[in-house]
Structure 1
């Protein structure tokens, strides 16, 4: 049955590559696999459960609502215009800067989907305004959403520390050097890909983007208002300073930050409260129909994989590779994360079953456990069905598969680099 599931998954990904409606493909494949697996009810239950996901729905909907408010108040354009000159003069470092910035912020905001929503709502339009291709803009932010792998808030680090019977920071500090080198390799690879595809900052795309803004918002004689330009940054600042790791401000979640930003926009721009409110909820509706719709469809697809035994088969194949534990620890979680959109299940399965025996492979629990959880996080950053990918694709208005195609090689190289540097000299 797992083989049949694998065939359905391959056909589904091929259909998405062929640009068939992503939600239709994922839902159809998910329901079909659940039906064949004899658990059709699981597909419906997953559909219903994900529709009211307690964290993703409020985060993504409020982010998109805030984004719509930024557009009607023109605050987003004031921000873009205020930094467009600097960006234009920094063409070579623009894409790597966006990825590294996302990577470091993701340490403070461990949720990949939440970070991509908060950071992407600012960086993706900014990159596009500088003439970066929309798909590359989305890929640059998505490529940075595995910084959380070295976050104290990452559950896997706590799990590995418990296995190794050591403190959390010992586990994290063992990962940091290899993770930083891997992030640099990923950034360099993505920059090279952007250059080869001619998707970096381009004057023609920049002019077209600004012409579209003028068409939508009117007025060619545009003067930047510094206060307007600062408003889009407020939620991001609140999230970073109010994170558990920094804690300069009281703990702040994404919906709170976005609502505060919206109220601030209303105060600063003094626009009609009725129009601001209407646009905020219009944005929430757009997010639900588009991004949340994709996440719901992806969840049904993942449930179908489980129903066919495909996920268990992949995990069991990974567990059977004890003689080459380093390779299994890296590429088992990586592959499953790419296919399923989540690095959690694979990393936890590997660390629960294999990592306790690390000493028999000549390795430490910290090193093997860190490898598995890091590979899962990196693999998720190129998965077309990951929540972060769907958020970035929605903000860039492109197919999630377009982001995956651009991030595939950088994420693969990052995984290999992390493995090599982690075990260098050991």
Structure 2
């Protein structure tokens, strides 16, 4: 009877998430209700309190989003994107795959899919449309590159998996970066072939946009968004024994250098940094806290143990569940975060029971959820680029369907080998 009630609550949770109710409220409410039914109501509240002070995770996510806000007010992100746009405009045959790669690079430095879609889409969509690319294909190319954040140490899933596995964030990234790059190249090639097959790579006459070539790029400004990533890479490879550099330190250095380079008022820059940190805690850390409460409810009702038993008796389905589960939920919910956090919290700690490492299983779930969200017609980033291009979000999802599915297959192949 407990199993039936638990499954009913889980189905109701998924339903409300699909209907775009606030993920934090839905997960919190479901977790508390299940904990009460399971007879241990305090377990959900204890989980809430525990996850509120998840030090390493809070440091990484909040500092990265603070730096992203600094890049926005200094317009360094705009200089980076315009620099890429000017370079791409000289190589028209490579425009579509180039935009995918360029958007991906922007998302590595600025780890917000919606923020990247807005910033990159405002430049790249008009650029492609003025070059004759169909509006839906132009928007789809930008959307196709909005999962570069997986290579950013501050993406919430990277420190989350690192904490579970007891390794550093850079260890997690160094494990999955090959799979991530392979999936990106697959997606870029497939969406380009799709554009040629649909004859949407040229011939469109844009009446809305003309290429803006008047913007003067400051190359020093354009370097600022990627500076912290470069610092982390250099310190973790060349000076690992001499300099202990973690995400918050790199982000603060990047913000400080940006202050001197752009000569922004120090108070404005400081306010922007802390505003970004606050938003990160409320929106990103909030989902992690809520997912932990949800999992505590699942545990209280015995659903986690039952799910574990099913997978132990059928180990062949574990790999499918880790990849396809978060992918499908990412598509139908428009966000891979809730499903991925819940899966990693409940199942990834037991990865070794299924012949996988915790980093391996966590990376599979993260990549699956991220690619599913990239394909979703109701994701915030999809709606943003659809608005810029003036098309229906479903038209973007149709064009991204095959690239994302094949990207997932290729990415999982790399992660499992």
| Structure 2 residue 110 is matched with structure 1 residue 97 | no
Q: Secondary structure at the match of 1:71?
A: helix
Match of 2:369 among 378, 383, 388: 383
User: Hey, what's the Cα distance between the residues in 1 that align with 2:211 and 2:295?
Assistant: 37
Aligned residue number for residue 279 of structure 2: 286
Query: Structure 2: 5+ residue runs without aligned partners?
Result: 126-136, 328-338, 385-393
Aligned residue number for residue 358 of structure 1: none
Segment of structure 1 superposing worse, 128-137 or 3-12 = 128-137
Q: Residues 29 and 301 of structure 1 are in contact (CA less than 8 Å); yes or no, is this contact kept in structure 2?
A: yes
Aligned residue number for residue 390 of structure 2: none
Normalised by the length of structure 1, the TM-score is 0.64
Q: Secondary structure at the match of 1:55?
A: helix
User: Hey, what's the Cα distance between the residues in 2 that align with 1:68 and 1:198?
Assistant: 39
Aligned residue number for residue 247 of structure 2: 254
Give the deviation of 1:35 after TM superposition.
Answer: 1.8
User: Hey, what's the Cα distance between the residues in 2 that align with 1:373 and 1:188?
Assistant: 28
Q: Residues 139 and 406 of structure 1 are in contact (CA less than 8 Å); yes or no, is this contact kept in structure 2?
A: no
Match of 1:273 among 266, 291, 301: 266
Judging changes above 3 Å, is the alpha-carbon distance between structure 1 residues 408 and 296 closer, same or farther for their aligned structure 2 residues?
farther
Aligned residue number for residue 313 of structure 1: 306
Give the deviation of 1:78 after TM superposition.
Answer: 1.5
Structure 2 counterparts to residues 6-45 of structure 1, below 5 A? 6-45=7-46
User: Hey, what's the Cα distance between the residues in 2 that align with 1:309 and 1:209?
Assistant: 58
Q: Deviations over 1:240-259 (max 9, x none)?
A: 22225984983421111111
Structure 2 counterparts to residues 10-409 of structure 1, below 5 A? 10-88=11-89, 89=92, 90-94=94-98, 97=101, 117=111, 125-126=119-120, 129-131=123-125, 140-142=145-147, 145=150, 185=186, 222-243=215-236, 247=240, 250-321=243-314, 325=315, 327-334=316-323, 339-341=339-341, 342-343=343-344, 346-347=347-348, 349-352=350-353, 354-355=354-355, 369=356, 374=360, 376-383=362-369
Q: Secondary structure at the match of 2:43?
A: helix
Q: Deviations over 1:281-326 (max 9, x none)?
A: 12222222222222222222222222222222222111112xxx5x
User: Hey, what's the Cα distance between the residues in 2 that align with 1:272 and 1:179?
Assistant: 38
Q: Secondary structure at the match of 1:377?
A: helix
Aligned residue number for residue 214 of structure 1: none
Q: Residues 125 and 396 of structure 1 are in contact (CA less than 8 Å); yes or no, is this contact kept in structure 2?
A: no
Q: CA RMSD in A?
A: 5.3
Q: Secondary structure at the match of 1:63?
A: helix
Query: Structure 1: 5+ residue runs without aligned partners?
Result: 106-114, 160-167, 211-219, 356-368
Give the deviation of 1:11 after TM superposition.
Answer: 1.8
User: Hey, what's the Cα distance between the residues in 2 that align with 1:271 and 1:422?
Assistant: 43
Judging changes above 3 Å, is the alpha-carbon distance between structure 1 residues 267 and 249 closer, same or farther for their aligned structure 2 residues?
farther
Q: Secondary structure at the match of 1:271?
A: coil
Q: Residues 134 and 397 of structure 1 are in contact (CA less than 8 Å); yes or no, is this contact kept in structure 2?
A: no
Q: Secondary structure at the match of 1:223?
A: coil
Give the deviation of 1:83 after TM superposition.
Answer: 1.5
Q: Deviations over 1:321-379 (max 9, x none)?
A: 2xxx5x33422443666645344753553533x54xxxxxxxxxxxxx47x96455223
Aligned residue number for residue 2 of structure 1: 3
User: Hey, what's the Cα distance between the residues in 2 that align with 1:254 and 1:176?
Assistant: 17
Q: Residues 57 and 288 of structure 1 are in contact (CA less than 8 Å); yes or no, is this contact kept in structure 2?
A: yes
Give the deviation of 1:116 after TM superposition.
Answer: 7.9
User: Hey, what's the Cα distance between the residues in 2 that align with 1:87 and 1:72?
Assistant: 25
Give the deviation of 1:260 after TM superposition.
Answer: 0.6
Q: Deviations over 1:195-223 (max 9, x none)?
A: 9999999998996999xxxxxxxxx9642
User: Hey, what's the Cα distance between the residues in 2 that align with 1:423 and 1:267?
Assistant: 45
Q: Residues 147 and 374 of structure 2 are in contact (CA less than 8 Å); yes or no, is this contact kept in structure 1?
A: yes
Segment of structure 1 superposing worse, 193-202 or 409-418 = 193-202
How many residues matched? 363
Give the deviation of 1:272 after TM superposition.
Answer: 1.6
Q: Residues 64 and 284 of structure 1 are in contact (CA less than 8 Å); yes or no, is this contact kept in structure 2?
A: yes
